[in-house]
Amino acid sequence: MSGAVTPRFDELIHEPNRLRICGLLAASSPLEFSVIRDTLEISDAACSKHLKVLADNGYVELEKRPGILNRHKVTLVHMLPAGDHAFAAHMAALRAIAEGRPLR
């Protein structure tokens, strides 16, 4: 995301695992569910729970695709524009806090 972003602290994103998920997706979207789960070293259930919260708030989209030889479905996680914006604004807020600047 380019240009100036207005800092906005986002309680939904700030939860540690969701913050890490958004960071991963900001760097490389889409990602497979298994990559996110394994990178965060959390269970399927915990990963699903955090992704559901992000999806329910319009930050990510989950896409089911057939796996190799149709053996297992693969879930791809895409960061949506609202998620990109919210994550950039949250990171700007964290930078402002770290630098002692007001969030306005």
Residue range of the domain that includes 52: 11-98
Q: Which of 27-49 are b and which e, b meaning 16 or more Cβ less than 10 Å from the residue's Cβ?
A: eebbbebeebbeebebeeeebbe
Least confident of 69-73, 80-84, 98-102: 69-73
pLDDT attached to residue 8: 96
- Closest Cα to residue 22, out of 97, 85, 73? 85
In a domain, 2, yes or no: no
Instruction: Check whether 71 has a pLDDT greater than 80.
Output: no
Per-residue pLDDT averaged across 60-69, rounded?
85
pLDDT attached to residue 1: 46
In a domain, 75, yes or no: yes
pLDDT attached to residue 14: 96
pLDDT attached to residue 66: 78
pTM (two decimals): 0.90
In a domain, 103, yes or no: no
Q: Higher confidence at residue 103 or residue 8?
A: 8
Per-residue pLDDT averaged across 36-47, rounded?
98
- Closest Cα to residue 10, out of 84, 87, 96, 80? 87
CA-to-CA distance for 83 and 80, rounded, in angstroms?
A: 5
Name the amino acid, one letter, at 99.
E
Instruction: Report the CATH number that the domain containing residue 63 is assigned in CATH.
Output: 1.10.10.10
CB proximity list for 14: less than 8 A, separation 6 or greater: 90
